[in-house]
Amino acid sequence: MASKQNKTSKTDSVSFENKLTESENSLETQRHSISHIMALAVKALYPEVKFGIGPSIENGFYYDFALPAEASTGTQVGLSPADLPKIESKMKELLKQNLAFKKKNISKTEAKKLFKDQPYKLELIKKLPGKTASLYESGGFVDLCKGPHIKNTAEINPKAFKLSRVAGAYWLGNEKNPMLTRIYGLYFATEKELSSFVAQQEEAEKRDHRILGQKLDLFLINPMVGMGLVMWQPKGAMLWRIMEDFWYKEHLKNGYELVRTPHIGSRKLWETSGHWGFYNDSMYPPLEVSQTLKDIQEKKKAKAKEEYLLKPMNCPFHITLYNSKPRSYRELPIRWAECGTVYRYEKSGELSGLTRVRGFTQDDAHIICSKEQVKDELKRVARFIVFTLKTFGFNDFNVYLSLRDPKNKKKYAGNDVGWDFTQKVLAEVAEEMGFAYKKEEGEAAFYGPKLDFKIKDCLGREWQCSTLQFDFNLPDRFKMSFINQKSEKEQPYVLHRVLFGSFERFIGVLIEHYAGAFPLWLSPVQVKILPITERHNDYALGLAEKLKEQNIRVETALEADTLGKKIREAEMQKIPYLLIVGDKEIANKSVAVRQHGKGDLGSMPLPELTELLLKEITIKK
RNA sequence: GCCGGAGUAGCUUUAAGGGUAGAGCAAUCGCUUCGUAAGCGAGAGGUUGCGAGUUCGAUUCUCGCCUCCGGCUCCA
């Protein structure tokens, strides 16, 4: 049990001072401090608990615990969301006690003695630079911690925190380490901010593309077919098609040519690229082609087996096309685009809806160019990415420059000279494009640095979709070359890039961004005609034909339901325009228009409506 | 893959704590022909995720597996 009076807390032989120099009462400090209080509460409930780390994070805090073993099973006590309320109420109790946070520096030797029963803390002490360890004490709980902390729990608003979830988390984020139990909590300056954050989370849940995808009949993922493999319903396939049409049209405008390549290829292809070495864990295992059943029955000798892989990326094919004949500098830059479906065997727990799947279609392209051309080509792609994101309504995105981790060069192919050059040029491009980009070390691809564009959706969540990768390694591995103006052999650069990333993920993000109510040009069904009674069906069908002539995607509701019901069903499908037709409309040769989210727009003649629709389609696009 | 939770009709769910489950919506059929978010009625729809075990009997208890959800790890 924690001591009720904390004024003179003592733990072992160490005494503490409640004198804070570096701390100020920032939200981050409060979040960090409340994680210590959670640790104290968990210790009160499970005295044998071992502690990991407990930092503040965006919106709150967490703490990692190794809970004691259960006597009956010998395994760690399982903590479930149902256990959170009791920890929460224990925390509230502690917060009320006005516990002080006191700091002390001791020698690492002393610290090791103090934390002799805390294996994870001992590991941290060993890693500390210098000779001293900094400790914080509050309510009798001493934690190895560099702080800063608040002075007293009185500074924490007990109504503004909430424990949100329990999770497993590997010690130090390494999957080879044991898994600890992590408790996440939310904490804000005020109760109001907490509840508005919780409300925002609930809003996000309503927009979940996995739920909307089913309600709007867009796609299906079924274990009978396989995990992470998406089937598209007619409406989802239509949305895909609209995106693809846009994509092809814009690529042809932007100087790309289209190529097409197979879904499988010899294993040698990826041995050459290096992917087999770096990623064979997450490829579907090779398809072996050797003996047929007939061969075996006829007892024929086994031939040397051939191995094929489902393609996890398109680049080796495009490179092979390039290498099929000698190339001249006059042909460069070559820009080859393909919507290519690739398969990656992601671990089962990593799959999620459309955003993380095992089979997906990249809107891929490779640009092969000379050193002189590379900067312009990079910029050209960056502009194309920005244009595409904005067209689809994503005006807010963050740009990240993903660099090699200088401390872990083994993860990457190629030499320092190549990395220094490509990283420098890519940074210049980001600079000259005026992106407020962030550098992220350790986020590069194994073959080169990249510029990642993460979309911010309407709820402020980030999604990595577009990426532009600057590759100097595959040209070397595949011995790519061209003859330059001096008649010498020269190695080109390869840019890999996707605009959507994958159709699957991009559609998932689109669904959530628009909450399923797509802009008119993207809507699988743009207009639904609702005849008031069956008497009016023929007029409705006639209107539908006329709209189809204008390439407007239209449905009719011919069933014998009431108008109210037809409206309700169409509204739930979030169809942008509903046309209601009855006796009046037939007499006036008009339609009564109802717009999703806006309501009744009144009656108008059909030509006026088509003009309105066509105008909206071109403006939004 | 790992930690935790969950799986009942197409969807959303109720009940039962060992004695084979009740509804709403959707779908089907009939009646209704309606003016801006659910007209009325009927019948039908279930091996309670799958497989073992315990038991006279399992949707319920035990074990294994599958899938989904929240995280962790990973994302060329």
> What is the DSSP annotation of A136-178?
EEETTEEEE------SBGGGS-TTSEEEEEEEEEEGGG-TTSP
Closest by CA to A530, choosing from A567, A571, A569, A573, is A567
Angle in degrees, 0-180, between the axes of helices A537-549 and A606-620, rounded to the nearest 10: 40
| pLDDT tens digits, A163-217 | 999 999 999 999 999 999 999 999 999 999 999 999 888 888 889 999 999 999 9
What is the distance in angstroms measured between the alpha-carbon CA of A217 and the sugar C1' of B47?
29
User: What integer pLDDT is reported at residue A203 of this predicted model?
Assistant: 85
- A374-391 and A416-432 helices, crossing angle to 10°: 50
Q: Are residues A135 and A247 in the same domain?
A: no
| Domain boundary residue, one of A514, A542, A565 | A514
Q: What is the pLDDT of residues A574-612, one digit of tens each?
A: 999 999 999 999 999 999 999 999 999 999 999 999 999
Binding positions of A for Zn(2+) are 315, 366, 496
Structure confidence at residue A201 (pLDDT): 87
CA-to-C1' distance for A312 and B69, Å?
27
| B37 C1' to A565 CA distance, Å | 7
Which nucleotides along chain B are within 7 A of a protein C-beta? 1-5, 11, 26-27, 31-39, 66-76
Do A419 and A546 lie in one domain? The reply is no
Instruction: Measure the CA–CA gap between A532 and A566, rounded to whole angstroms.
Output: 9
- What CATH number is given to the structural domain containing A591? 3.40.50.800
Nearest protein residue, CA measured to C1' of B71: A167
Q: What pLDDT is recorded for position A9?
A: 32
At which of A455, A490, A514 does a domain end? Answer: A514
Q: What is the mean pLDDT of residues A81-97?
A: 90
Whether residue A508 is found in the same domain as residue A528: no
Examine residue A13 and state whether it is found in any structural domain, yes or no.
no
Task: Let me know if residue A223 belongs to a domain.
Answer: yes
User: What nucleotide is nearest A570 when CA is compared to C1'?
Assistant: B37
Is A271 a member of any domain? yes
* Minimum CA–C1' distance nucleotide for A590: B35
Query: In this predicted structure, what is the pLDDT of residue A545?
Result: 97
Residue A21 lies in a domain: no
Dump pLDDT digits (tens) for A446-487: 999 999 999 988 777 889 999 999 999 999 999 999 999 999
Cα gap A580→A593, rounded to integer Å:
6
For residue A67, give the CATH number of its domain.
3.30.980.10
| % of chain A residues with pLDDT over 90 | 79
pLDDT the model gives residue A69: 67
CATH of the domain at A272: 3.30.930.10
Query: Based on the domain organization, do A343 and A466 belong to the same domain?
Result: yes
Which nucleotide is at minimal CA–C1' distance from A574? Answer: B37
Residues A510 and A529 in one domain: no
pLDDT grade for A10, boundaries at 50, 70 and 90: very low
Same domain as A507, residue A541: no
Owning domain of residue A424: 219-282+306-514
Instruction: Give yes or no: residues A425 and A465 share one domain.
Output: yes
pLDDT at A613 over 80: yes
Do A441 and A540 share a domain, yes or no? no
The answer, yes or no, to whether residue A2 has pLDDT greater than 80, is no
Total domains in the fold of chain A? 3
* Active centre residues of A (catalytic): 315, 344, 362, 364, 366, 450, 496
pLDDT tens-digit readout, A96-141: 999 999 998 999 999 999 999 999 999 999 988 888 999 999 988 8
Tell me, yes or no, whether A277 lies in a domain: yes
Residue type, A178: P
Residues A334, A430, single domain; the answer is yes
In a domain, A167, yes or no: yes
In a domain, A262, yes or no: yes
- Cβ(A576)–Cβ(A595) below 8 Å: yes
Clarify whether residues A361 and A497 are in a common domain. yes
Query: Which residues of A fall in the annotated binding site?
Result: 315, 366, 496
Domain C-terminal end among A499, A514, A529 = A514
Q: How many CB atoms lie within 10 A of CB A294?
A: 8
Residue A602: what are its φ and ψ, rounded to 5°? 85, -175
Q: Note whether A536 and A504 are same-domain residues.
A: no
Same domain, A100 and A62: yes
Is the model's pLDDT at A17 over the cut of 50? no
Residue A10 is assigned to a structural domain of this protein: no
What's the mean pLDDT in A227-252? 97
**Which class for A458: exposed (0-12), middle (13-18), buried (19 or more C-beta within 10 A)?**
middle
Instruction: Return the structure tokens found at A218.
Output: 């867009």
The reported pLDDT for the residue numbered A19 is 41
